[in-house]
């Protein structure tokens, strides 16, 4: 069976055409170098070199074997390099899922940071609601997930990725759009486009809690799961909505966004979750980038 040390010795001699220079290049003496070449020739059952007291020449078989030997060494070096990079969390594939709203602002910034810090890493991205992401994480079909809290399963760990305020979204021609800041009391009895209680449970509970605490009762006219769909109805003039600040990135014509003055603000949170028993070193790198982004 071929040995890498034998192949490496042959390539050195074949390129130098001199045993002394080849031995110096390999930091070894000539006798063991000659033995390695002889063993290789016996394994291949061919003569690779013609030796004399004055010169070394490649045989026809040696000339044919040289490019293949060089290719074998390069492949082995590349394989070793990739393996070390993967083990160090600098290469490989990372399967990351995310909620639709995180793609408005946070996810593009995270992808940019990953490409800059981990250029040899392939990101495999999937959009899913939080419930489905948790199921995929537990099943091992994804490595990490950008989800809405809380993450309570004992097999999962998580860190906060982002916290942002809720803002009011109104038709641009609405009288309240002329104010710089709004209060929840401004929306008492007004038509409200709400979040669906099952498909968008996190946002439904967050907004319902705010209204209950402020003792404000808007008039719900629609319940939807996706923020971009909610904003489309705001644009159509069906009512107002409360959305995360990142939704302003959608820049929908006919929709005005105004900050809310709240006594007890409740930020919209996004967390990065992963399995505690994961074996992908890239998750630690992703967590570092997420925490750096959160601090920034």
CATH value at residue 52: 1.10.10.10
Number of domains in the chain: 3
Same domain, 279 and 137: yes
**How many Cβ atoms are within 10 Å of 183's Cβ, its own excluded?**
15
Burial label, 53 (beta-carbon count in 10 A; 0-12, 13-18, 19+): exposed
pTM, rounded to two decimals? 0.73
Q: In what order do the strands lie in the sheet with 255-259?
A: 241-244, 166-171, 255-259
Is 157 in the same domain as 98? yes
Are residues 261 and 209 located together in one domain of the fold? yes
130 neighbors 271 (Cβ within 8 angstroms): no
For residue range 190-248, list pLDDT tens digits in order: 999 999 999 999 999 999 999 999 999 999 999 999 999 999 999 999 999 999 999 99
CATH number at residue 278: 3.40.190.10
Domain of residue 76 covers 4-87
Q: Does 32 share its domain with 62? A: yes
Residues 243 and 181 in one domain: yes
Do 146 and 282 belong to one domain? yes
The answer on 138 and 194 residing in a single domain is: no
195 touches 154 (CB < 8 A): no
Strands 120-127 and 91-98: parallel
pLDDT digits (tens, 9 = 90+) for 87-123: 667 768 899 999 999 999 999 999 999 999 989 888 9
Same domain, 159 and 177: no
Condensed to tens digits (0 to 9), the pLDDT of residues 110-167 reads 999 999 998 988 899 999 999 999 999 999 999 999 999 999 999 999 999 999 999 9
- One domain, residues 68 and 193: no
Single out the residue in 66, 87, 108 at which a domain terminates. 87
Cα angle value 227/263/149 (rounded, 5°) = 45
């Amino acid at each position: 069976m071929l040995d890498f040390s034998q192949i490496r010795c042959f390539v050195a001699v074949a390129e130098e055409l001199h045993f002394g220079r080849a031995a110096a290049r390999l930091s070894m003496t000539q006798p063991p170098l000659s033995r390695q070449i002889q063993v290789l020739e016996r394994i291949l059952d061919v003569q690779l070199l013609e030796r004399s007291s004055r010169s070394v020449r490649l045989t026809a078989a040696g000339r044919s074997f040289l490019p293949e030997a060089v290719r074998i060494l390069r492949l082995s070096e590349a394989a070793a390099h990739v393996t070390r990079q993967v083990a160090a969390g600098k290469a490989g594939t990372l399967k990351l899922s995310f909620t639709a709203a995180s793609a408005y602002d946070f996810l593009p910034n995270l992808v940019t940071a990953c490409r800059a810090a981990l250029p040899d890493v392939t990101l495999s991205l999937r959009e899913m609601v939080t419930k489905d992401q948790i199921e995929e994480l537990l099943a091992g079909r994804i490595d990490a997930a950008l989800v809405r809290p809380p993450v309570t399963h004992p097999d999962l760990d998580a860190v906060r990725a982002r916290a942002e305020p809720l803002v009011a979204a109104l038709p641009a021609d609405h009288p309240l759009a002329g104010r710089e800041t709004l209060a929840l009391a401004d929306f008492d009895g007004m038509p409200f486009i709400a979040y669906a209680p099952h498909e968008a449970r996190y946002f439904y509970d967050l907004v319902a809690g705010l209204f209950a605490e402020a003792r404000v009762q808007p008039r719900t006219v629609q319940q939807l799961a996706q923020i971009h769909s909610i904003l489309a109805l705001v644009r159509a003039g069906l009512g107002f909505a409360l959305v995360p600040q990142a939704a302003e990135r959608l820049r929908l014509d006919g929709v005005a966004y105004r900050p809310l003055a709240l006594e007890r603000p409740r930020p919209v949170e996004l967390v990065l979750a992963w399995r505690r028993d994961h074996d992908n070193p890239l998750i630690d790198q992703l967590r570092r980038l997420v925490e750096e982004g959160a601090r920034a």
